[in-house]
């Protein structure tokens, strides 16, 4: 098909792509791939330490510092946990959402960002419906920007909280996950698990559902394999193109849900993002028949695995209510871990002197 | 009478088969005489205030460059570019002729707009050849009056940017244009396959969370158009494929040519130099349509240029205001500027890096595109031709700075790139249109 596939008769050395200038600000967290393994370890350690710290002491860390939450999409978990996290460290927060601001009048992201900076915002937490919006905002404001989800692209704090959840259930000696191991994280998570390229060696995490439109999937695909995990993507072709396996190392595709489940220590289910289907027709009954996580499937294929979901859950579609509420579900633990991770990430944004999150 | 003598330079005129030291006399907008150094006959007696002399010692003299694909934005979008600023940028890049696309506001689908674009009041420093819309309003439904457009000065028809999808309309367009001797230029994109897409479909688009344009969206239309040309069985039909970006489309063009069809194609510098990797982290100055493709597609462009399958290098110069590009990637308009970088990039890469003879590179930038659109007396410096000349230092290496552009816009991915070949003078119909020293 492709004539370029025939061996080139000439040696062609084309101009290379330029190196990325991002992140401009060392406090930014734009992509899960921005963090070094040490940086990931520091964030996990700080999350654990901050979670266990006396709330009054903790509230002095960022006392009266200004953090803006800029949300162009609706959000329950991410917005609330970022807000609670910033407030827990003593920061003043302000929420700007697209429906109650000048964004409605046509103000651009650049102008909104510059306005927030002029108002004294020292960091901006951005949720946006366009992929790459966090990069644009960082380039224009040069402030620490925390990417709280950009279009179909990335959601790095979700990947970090997912990692924290997996580690809390991981037996470091047998490298298996146990739903029962839902310990209150005491002390530092990183004292239990040193963060290295081997931390998740032997662990398989399956991600099933609407991978194509999922920023959670992309951030997890970039983060988890760096710690040695094998990520198995599962779903129909319409929602999981073959090219997904090329995002990075340690990623494979399995179309059969049962086969994917059998390999998994952690089972991550995703919502079908109806708002991003863009005309794609999907037979939901067929989808449920093939990919719904039911109690029966779970018991038969992955009785020891933890069941994860970034939310919002559509009960009765990607998971049954019984599984969502079942003993293997760690979905609400993920939500709780979100606050701890976001405390660490907000702290890192505003205290660049503390080298908690060294760049990759 | 004004006359201009260019002395001491090395003339490369691929169409005339000249590649040696020559003196040239330009008179009344035409090439009057070419002779060995110091041997011009007519100039000898004419020394005086009306005879200007250009010393081109150590420089290359070539036919002024011809770009058959530019967007000058007038009428209607003067904040991006005007005919005056666009042609100033063209002259700085060594171009003496540009063919302007009809996606203006309003669309150039009438003899009135076609003439308006060529009026002296527009302040063009070089020659502008309008390309008219193939259908009314470029809506792909009603064919325009091609005879009237041609007599108003249109050199081809296209619905560039809004490709003609209906088979019946495209067939009618090809046939009607052939009857009056106009070429049909197609921006090959099956827009049914590119809804909401903002870059090439593939692993990079997936990773960036952007919807992708499949290569089939381009090659499918090229194949369809070639099928229509085949069915028409009329040797006057000329299909020109604009900004070819995929290996599959080039393959279709190659095969059509082998079957004896009059199908030509152009490639833009960004498509033979850059790949989807250059989008980086949402660089909107690397967003254009067709998009930057895979390395395999890019390599196929280079191969096809070196092999002679490609008929012309065209820039698809598409200026956009800074504020239009400082937005979310998927909301940014498509297009980059290109008039000032085409020669420097072509010489730096095609000639220096990939060893294409200088004359062949220049031919792709002048003689071939001029012939393709039937621009008589352009693209060559044979005696009697228009006095369209570029004089440049072929060895000079320099760095392109977008902030120094003559264009109103600076949306280029080549800011800071090393160029080879510095334009010293550009002469349009005997008048100096660009002088790097002034």
Q: Using one digit for the tens of pLDDT, what is the confidence trace for B174-203? A: 999 999 999 999 999 999 999 999 999 999
User: Mean pLDDT, to the nearest integer, of B307-326?
Assistant: 97
**Is B297 in the A-facing interface, judged by CB distances under 8 Å?**
yes
Query: What's the rounded Cα separation, in Å, for the pair B143 and A26?
Result: 57
B297/A4 CB distance under 8 A:
yes
Is the ipTM of this structure higher than 0.95? Answer: no
pLDDT at A123 exceeding the cut of 70: yes
Question: How many other C-beta atoms lie within 10 A of the C-beta of residue A256?
Answer: 11
Same domain for A343 and A278: no
Q: Pick from B193, B203, B209, B310 the residue to mutate for testing the A interface (most A CBs within 10 Å).
A: B209
Range of B13's domain? Answer: 3-61+386-397+413-435
Quick check: is B402 in a domain?
no
User: Mean pLDDT, to the nearest integer, of B232-250?
Assistant: 97
Residue B43 has what pLDDT? Answer: 62
Q: How many domains does chain B have?
A: 2
Distance (Å) from the C-alpha of residue A142 to the closest C-alpha of chain B? 14
Q: How confident is the model at residue A274 (pLDDT cuts 50, 70, 90)?
A: confident
**Is A138 in the B-facing interface, judged by CB distances under 8 Å?**
no
**Is A82 in the B-facing interface, judged by CB distances under 8 Å?**
no
Same domain for B297 and B348: yes
Same domain for A314 and A241: yes
Quick check: is A2 in a domain?
no
Same domain for A342 and A297: no
Of B179, B159, B161, B180, nearest to B170 (Cα)?
B159
CATH code for the domain in which residue B355 is found:
3.20.20.140
Same domain for B111 and B181: yes
Q: Which of residues 223-252 of A touch B (CB under 8 A)?
A: 241, 243-244, 246-247
B207/A247 CB distance under 8 A:
yes
Residue B45 has what pLDDT? Answer: 57
Residue A304 has what pLDDT? Answer: 94
Same domain for B422 and B334: no
Report cis status (omega within 30 of 0) of the bond before B75. yes
Quick check: is A18 in a domain?
no
Distance (Å) from the C-alpha of residue B270 to the closest C-alpha of chain A? 11
pLDDT at A15 exceeding the cut of 90: no
Same domain for A136 and A207: no
A130/B202 CB distance under 8 A:
no
Quick check: is B171 in a domain?
yes
User: Chain B contacts of A14, Cβ < 8 Å?
Assistant: 273, 275, 295, 298-299, 302, 349
Quick check: is A161 in a domain?
no
Range of A44's domain? Answer: 32-155+338-347
Residues 6+ apart with CB under 8 A from B47: none
Distance (Å) from the C-alpha of residue A181 to the closest C-alpha of chain B? 34
Could you report the per-residue pLDDT of B417-427, keeping only the tens digit for each?
Answer: 999 999 999 99
**Max CA pair span of chain B:** 70
Same domain for B218 and B72: yes
Residue contacts between A and B (CB atoms, under 8 Å)? 113
Same domain for B54 and B69: no
Residue B26, SS3 per DSSP: strand
Residue given tokens 């792509």 in the structure block: A17
Q: How many domains does chain A have?
A: 2
Catalytic residues of B: 316
Quick check: is B173 in a domain?
yes
Same domain for B261 and B228: yes
Quick check: is B243 in a domain?
yes
pLDDT at A33 exceeding the cut of 70: yes
User: Chain B contacts of A140, Cβ < 8 Å?
Assistant: 326
Same domain for A220 and A140: no
Quick check: is A5 in a domain?
no
Lowest mean pLDDT among A264-278, B257-271, B362-376: A264-278
Which of B250, B300, B354 is nearest residue A10 as measured by Cβ atoms? B354
A135/B353 CB distance under 8 A:
no
Quick check: is A313 in a domain?
yes
Residue B2 has what pLDDT? Answer: 81
**Is B204 in the A-facing interface, judged by CB distances under 8 Å?**
no
Quick check: is B403 in a domain?
no
**Parallel, antiparallel, or unpaired: how do β-strands A266-269 and A251-253 relate?**
unpaired
CATH code for the domain in which residue A309 is found:
3.40.50.1370
**Is A277 in the B-facing interface, judged by CB distances under 8 Å?**
no
Query: What's the rounded Cα separation, in Å, for the pair B40 and B22?
Result: 9
C-alpha A230 chain-centroid distance? 16
pLDDT at A341 exceeding the cut of 90: yes
Same domain for B323 and B181: yes
Quick check: is A275 in a domain?
yes
Of A254, A266, A264, nearest to A330 (Cα)?
A266
**Is A15 in the B-facing interface, judged by CB distances under 8 Å?**
yes
Quick check: is A23 in a domain?
no
Same domain for A137 and A229: no
Torsion-angle region of A267 (φ positive above 0: left; ψ -120 to 50: alpha; else: beta): beta
pLDDT at A234 exceeding the cut of 70: yes
What average pLDDT does the structure give for chain B?
Answer: 96
H-only helix segments in chain A: 37-52, 55-58, 77-88, 109-118, 133-141, 156-168, 189-192, 215-223, 257-263, 284-291, 295-301, 321-324, 331-350
Same domain for B234 and B367: yes
Is there a contact between B25 and B430 (Cβ–Cβ < 8 Å)?
no
Which of B275, B330, B353 is nearest residue A130 as measured by Cβ atoms? B330
Residue B108, SS3 per DSSP: coil
Same domain for B141 and B112: yes
| DSSP secondary structure letters along A315-341 | BTTTB-HHHHTSTTB-HHHHHHHHHHH
Same domain for B114 and B52: no
Could you report the per-residue pLDDT of B91-126, keeping only the tens digit for each?
Answer: 999 999 999 999 999 999 999 999 999 999 999 999
- Name residue B11's beta-bridge partners: B20, B61
Residue given tokens 């590009």 in the structure block: B325
Residue A125, SS3 per DSSP: strand
What average pLDDT does the structure give for chain A?
Answer: 91
Query: What's the rounded Cα separation, in Å, for the pair B234 and B261?
Result: 9
- Is A319 buried (19+), middle (13-18) or exposed (0-12) by CB count in 10 A? buried
B296/A279 CB distance under 8 A:
no
Quick check: is B156 in a domain?
yes
Same domain for B347 and B393: no
Same domain for B80 and B7: no
Is there a contact between A31 and A158 (Cβ–Cβ < 8 Å)?
no
Same domain for A47 and A141: yes
Residue given tokens 């086969």 in the structure block: A259
Quick check: is B380 in a domain?
no
User: Chain B contacts of A253, Cβ < 8 Å?
Assistant: none
Could you report the per-residue pLDDT of B6-60, keeping only the tens digit for each?
Answer: 999 999 999 999 999 999 999 999 999 999 999 998 765 555 667 899 999 999 9
Could you report the per-residue pLDDT of A44-53, keeping only the tens digit for each?
Answer: 999 999 999 9
Compute, in degrees rounded to 10, the torsion defined by CA atoms A272, A275, A280, A285: 40
Residue A177 has what pLDDT? Answer: 84
pLDDT at B225 exceeding the cut of 50: yes
């Amino acid at each position: 098909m492709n004539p370029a596939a025939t061996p080139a008769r000439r040696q062609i050395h084309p101009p290379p792509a330029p190196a990325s200038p991002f992140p401009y600000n060392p406090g930014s967290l734009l992509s899960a791939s921005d963090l070094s393994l040490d940086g990931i370890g520091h964030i996990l350690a700080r999350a654990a330490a901050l979670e266990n710290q006396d709330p009054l002491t903790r509230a002095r860390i960022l006392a009266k510092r200004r953090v803006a939450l800029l949300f162009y999409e609706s959000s329950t978990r991410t917005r609330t946990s970022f807000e609670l996290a910033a407030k827990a460290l003593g920061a003043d927060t302000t929420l700007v959402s697209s429906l109650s601001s000048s964004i409605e009048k046509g103000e651009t992201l650049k102008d909104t960002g510059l306005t927030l900076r002029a108002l004294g915002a020292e960091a901006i937490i951005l949720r946006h419906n366009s992929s790459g919006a966090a990069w644009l905002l960082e380039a224009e404001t040069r402030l620490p920007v925390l990417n709280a989800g950009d279009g179909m692209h990335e959601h790095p704090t979700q990947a970090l909280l997912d990692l924290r959840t997996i580690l809390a259930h991981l037996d470091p000696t047998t490298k298996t996950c146990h739903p029962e191991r839902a310990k209150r994280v005491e002390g530092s998570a990183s004292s239990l698990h040193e963060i290295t390229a081997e931390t998740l060696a032997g662990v398989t995490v399956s991600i099933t559902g609407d991978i194509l439109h999922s920023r959670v999937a992309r951030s997890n695909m970039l983060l988890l394999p760096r710690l040695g995990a094998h990520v198995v993507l599962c779903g129909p072709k319409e929602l999981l193109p073959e090219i997904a396996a090329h995002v990075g190392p340690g990623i494979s595709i399995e179309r059969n849900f049962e086969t994917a489940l059998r390999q998994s220590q952690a089972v991550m289910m995703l919502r079908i993002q109806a708002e991003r289907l863009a005309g794609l027709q999907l037979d939901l009954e067929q989808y449920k028949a093939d990919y719904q996580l039911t109690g029966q499937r779970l018991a038969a294929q992955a009785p020891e695995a933890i069941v994860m979901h970034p939310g919002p859950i559509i009960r009765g579609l990607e998971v049954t209510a019984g599984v969502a509420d079942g003993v293997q579900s760690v979905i609400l633990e993920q939500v709780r871990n979100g606050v701890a991770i976001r405390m660490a990430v907000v702290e890192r944004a505003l205290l660049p002197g503390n080298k908690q999150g060294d760049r990759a | 009478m004004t006359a201009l003598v260019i002395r001491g330079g090395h003339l490369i005129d691929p169409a005339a088969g000249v590649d040696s030291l020559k003196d040239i006399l330009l008179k009344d907008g035409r090439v009057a005489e070419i002779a060995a150094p110091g041997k011009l006959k007519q100039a000898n007696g004419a020394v005086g205030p009306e005879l200007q002399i250009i010393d081109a010692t150590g420089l290359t003299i070539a036919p002024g460059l011809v770009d058959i694909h530019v967007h000058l934005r007038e009428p209607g979008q003067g904040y991006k570019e005007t005919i005056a600023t666009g042609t100033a940028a063209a002259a700085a890049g060594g171009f003496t002729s540009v063919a302007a696309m009809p996606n203006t506001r309003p669309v150039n689908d009438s003899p009135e707009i076609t003439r308006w674009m060529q009026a002296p009041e527009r302040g063009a420093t070089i020659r502008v050849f309008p390309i008219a819309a193939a259908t009314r309003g470029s809506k792909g439904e009603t064919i325009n009056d091609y005879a009237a457009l041609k007599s108003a000065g249109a050199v081809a028809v296209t619905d560039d940017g809004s490709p003609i999808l209906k088979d019946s309309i495209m067939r009618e367009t090809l046939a009607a244009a052939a009857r009056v001797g106009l070429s049909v230029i197609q921006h090959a994109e099956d827009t049914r396959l590119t809804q909401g897409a903002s870059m090439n479909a593939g692993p990079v688009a997936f990773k960036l969370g952007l919807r992708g344009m499949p290569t089939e969206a381009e090659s499918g239309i090229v194949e369809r158009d070639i099928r229509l040309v085949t069915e028409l069985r009329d040797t006057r039909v000329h299909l020109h494929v604009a900004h070819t970006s995929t290996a599959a489309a080039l393959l279709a063009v190659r095969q059509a040519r082998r079957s004896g069809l009059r199908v030509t194609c152009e490639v833009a510098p960004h498509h033979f130099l850059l790949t989807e990797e250059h989008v980086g982290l949402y660089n909107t100055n690397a967003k254009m349509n067709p998009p930057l493709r895979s390395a395999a597609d890019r390599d196929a462009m280079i191969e096809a240029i070196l092999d002679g399958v490609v008929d012309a290098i065209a820039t698809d110069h598409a200026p956009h205001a800074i504020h239009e590009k400082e937005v979310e990637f998927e909301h940014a308009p498509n297009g980059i500027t290109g008039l000032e970088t085409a020669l420097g990039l072509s010489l730096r890469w095609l000639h220096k890096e990939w060893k294409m003879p200088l004359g062949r590179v220049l031919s792709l930038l002048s003689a071939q595109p001029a012939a393709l659109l039937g621009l008589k007396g352009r693209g060559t410096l044979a005696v009697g031709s228009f006095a369209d000349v570029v004089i440049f230092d072929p060895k000079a290496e320099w760095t392109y700075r977008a902030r120094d552009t003559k264009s109103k816009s600076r949306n280029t991915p080549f800011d800071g790139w090393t160029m080879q070949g510095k334009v010293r003078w550009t002469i349009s119909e005997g008048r100096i249109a660009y002088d790097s020293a002034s």
